[in-house]
Amino acid sequence: MNNAARSLRLAVVGHTNTGKTSLLRTLSRDPDFGQVQDSPGTTRHVEGLRLMMGGSAVIELFDTPGMEDGMALLDYLDQLAEPGVRLDGPERIQRFLDSPESHRRFEQEARVLRTLLECDAGIYVIDARDPVLGKHRDELAVLASCGHPLLPVLNFTHSPDLRIDEWRSALSRLGLHAVVEFDTVAPPLDGEDQLYDKLALLLDPHAPTLRAMKRDIAEQRQQRHADALLLVAEMLIDVAALRLSTPAEPPAMEEAAERLRRLARQREARGIDALLKRYNFRSADFPQHSFPLQGERWDMDLFHPQALKDFGIQVGKGMAAGAMAGATVDMFTAGISLGAATLLGAAAGGLWQGADKLGRRLLGKLRGYQELTVDDAVLRLLAMRGLALIAALERRGHAAHGPIEIEELIDDRAEALRKEQLPEPLLEARASPEWSTLLEEHYQPSNRRNQAVRKLATELGA
């Protein structure tokens, strides 16, 4: 049988409670795989998993129960060895698997060994915080007798109290020189790449598959990032173009401002849900109410002044407070200066249609209506929160527990968003109320809007 044509089979083995299931959750991007608990013997069966590339299965991974009694097993293997009969590693293991204790005392270990015998290689997961003990060496000896290459993966490398050097030298002494450093809670950006590269070194016939998988993962990551930026750009355009017209009396204006805020909040919530889904996380991972940031708690509300301060956005003097918070009253002059081009276009293209739209606004103005839009500062905040969430999602592995943590953005792009003029597509959106999908009666699909969304996404990602 041609080894390379069949999908690559890997057994994930190791001492109990080292994060084997978590590793598989991270690699498979599936937060529901297996069961994860900080206790020994959580996984007691062998569970399989296929990694897909382009819709077809390429690599098959097997989560195994942890080895708990490696020393006694090695003793038992010695006991089974008949004097005068020389058996090689796999034969010894097979003999063990046919013995009575493989169904009783060593049933867990037997499952692991049976799986490893049927696979092409084993990934040996190590908790890098554990000391190197005799029982680990014995386990490795047993696993190595199965006759397949073993790739050690040091897990929890982003925790304090590490013993990486101890482990590296101990593994070297056992002949295992290729080691991968990983962390299932906050996976290093190149962790998966390291894994596939070193597997390719160990398993030469499968190297093309592994390299292709590595490339596919990188492409998927880029695609996800691009899609995420587009989702944020759509959200920003929708909110920037939102425009409510209201009579000029305070109670009506406050009501309209409240409606404006509600629509903006709902749109942000939808945007967050879409981002979570795109990265295959659950909504429960990002609670809608306050979440901790560097020890501070702040109100999730988009329109709270503290929220702006926390992201370092200056609140302009003219920004309204209280009931009118977050809404800007458009003096209509800004609208008409940018709308001059619209007027011309309307005249040329759809005479009465354009006049109808502009006419509605003119009529409103004549009747003493004002137009409310969302403050610039709030748009900046929306953009920064969106980008901060994307950054957090990129960093997070699917084995992580606990809520997603947002970190403040400190780079040139964030500075530009904070201080400089709003990106051009957003300015254009402000003058084009028909771009906002939040008010269905005014929304018109247009090619210009699609272009603006794409341009904004590129600018946000730059």
Range 334-337 contact pairs with CB under 8 angstroms and sequence separation of 24 or more: 334/431, 335/361, 335/371, 335/431
Q: How far is CA 424 from the centre of its chain?
A: 29
Q: Output 326 or 425, the one with its CB closest to another protein.
A: 425
Q: Which residues pair with 8 in a beta bridge?
A: 59
From candidates 123, 143, 210, 231, binder to another protein by CB under 8 A: 231
Q: 278 to 317, contacts with another protein by CB under 8 A?
A: 278-280
Residues in the chain: 462
Is the separation of the CB atoms in 77 and 92 below 8 Å?
A: yes
Is the separation of the CB atoms in 163 and 115 below 8 Å?
A: no
Contact segment (CB under 8 A) with another protein among 51-59, 199-207, 241-249, 288-296 equals 51-59
From candidates 8, 51, 180, 382, binder to another protein by CB under 8 A: 51
Which residues, 6 or more positions from 161, have their beta carbon under 8 angstroms from its beta carbon? Answer: 129
Distance, CA of 266 to CA of 269 (rounded, Å): 5
218 binds another protein (CB under 8 A): no
Q: Output 101 or 255, the one with its CB closest to another protein.
A: 101
Q: 136 to 195, contacts with another protein by CB under 8 A?
A: 137-138
Query: Which burial class, exposed, middle or buried, applies to 449 when counting CB atoms under 10 A from its CB (0-12, 13-18, 19+)?
Result: buried
Q: CB 53 → another protein: shortest distance, Å?
A: 9
- CA-CA distances (angstroms) from residue 198 to 140, 190, 230? 18, 12, 35
350 binds another protein (CB under 8 A): yes
402 binds another protein (CB under 8 A): no
Residue of 407, 42, 9, 393 lying closest to 187 (CA atoms):
393
For another protein (CB under 8 A), the number of binding residues is 86
Contact segment (CB under 8 A) with another protein among 147-155, 203-211, 216-224, 378-386 equals 216-224
Q: How far is CA 6 from the centre of its chain?
A: 30
From candidates 87, 207, 334, 343, binder to another protein by CB under 8 A: 343
From candidates 45, 297, 367, 401, binder to another protein by CB under 8 A: 45
Q: CB 291 → another protein: shortest distance, Å?
A: 21
98 binds another protein (CB under 8 A): no
Q: Output 12 or 377, the one with its CB closest to another protein.
A: 12
Q: CB 336 → another protein: shortest distance, Å?
A: 14
439 binds another protein (CB under 8 A): no
69 binds another protein (CB under 8 A): yes
